[in-house]
């Protein structure tokens, strides 16, 4: 889902990002100068209410399965419940289109560029067991209930 756009204006990459809950009307990308291969390519800056530029994220160069180069990173701020993963794709006007990425089930198994995902149960408690506790005992018997196991497939 596209949530913003970055334009190259007089050699500066500036634009905006907006969603239902986030409104960043002035953001900028500042090139990172580093000899470290793991350093980000850009820092993401936002103009705060005091009209100061503050860092809210970083972007690294990534390559799609089809060989297309794009930027990927996160927007983060103490006011957000968790970092928001984003990707920037080159646009015809010399800037970037900003897309938001939602974690998928693949991230539970190490996908989505290392992003982690916290699972919560119906009561809002953190689910520590992934798929929950097993209903099978050590000897293969059904545990956790006195009801006999039904041979018929319930699905």
Predicted local distance difference test score (pLDDT) of residue 104: 59
Number of Cβ within 10 Å of residue 26's Cβ equals: 14
Predicted local distance difference test score (pLDDT) of residue 3: 93
Tell me the per-residue pLDDT of 11-38, one tens digit each, with 9 for 90 and over.
899 999 998 888 999 999 999 999 999 9
Predicted local distance difference test score (pLDDT) of residue 51: 93
Is the whole model's pTM more than 0.75, yes or no?
no
d(CA 30, CA 58): 9
Instruction: Write the DSSP symbol of residue 114.
Output: G
Question: Of 106, 38, 99, nearest to 71 (Cα)?
Answer: 99
| Residue 102 CA: distances (Å) to CA of 1, 99, 107, 117, 146 | 9, 10, 10, 10, 41
| Low-confidence residues in the chain, pLDDT < 50 | 107-109, 111-131, 147, 149, 153-155
């Amino acid at each position: 889902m596209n949530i913003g756009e970055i334009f190259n204006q007089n050699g500066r990459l500036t634009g905006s990002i907006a969603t239902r809950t986030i409104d960043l009307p002035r953001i900028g990308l500042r090139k990172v100068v580093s000899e470290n291969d793991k350093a980000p390519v850009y820092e993401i800056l936002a103009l705060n209410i005091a009209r100061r530029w503050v860092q809210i994220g970083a972007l690294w160069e990534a390559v799609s399965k089809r060989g297309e180069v794009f930027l990927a990173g996160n927007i983060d701020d103490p006011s957000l419940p968790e970092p928001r993963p984003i990707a920037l794709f080159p646009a015809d006007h010399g800037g970037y289109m900003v897309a938001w990425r939602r974690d998928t089930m693949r991230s539970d198994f190490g996908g989505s560029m290392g992003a982690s995902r916290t699972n919560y149960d119906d009561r809002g408690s953190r689910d520590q067991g992934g798929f929950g506790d097993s209903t099978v005992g050590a000897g293969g018997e059904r545990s956790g209930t006195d009801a006999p196991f039904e041979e018929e497939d319930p699905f």
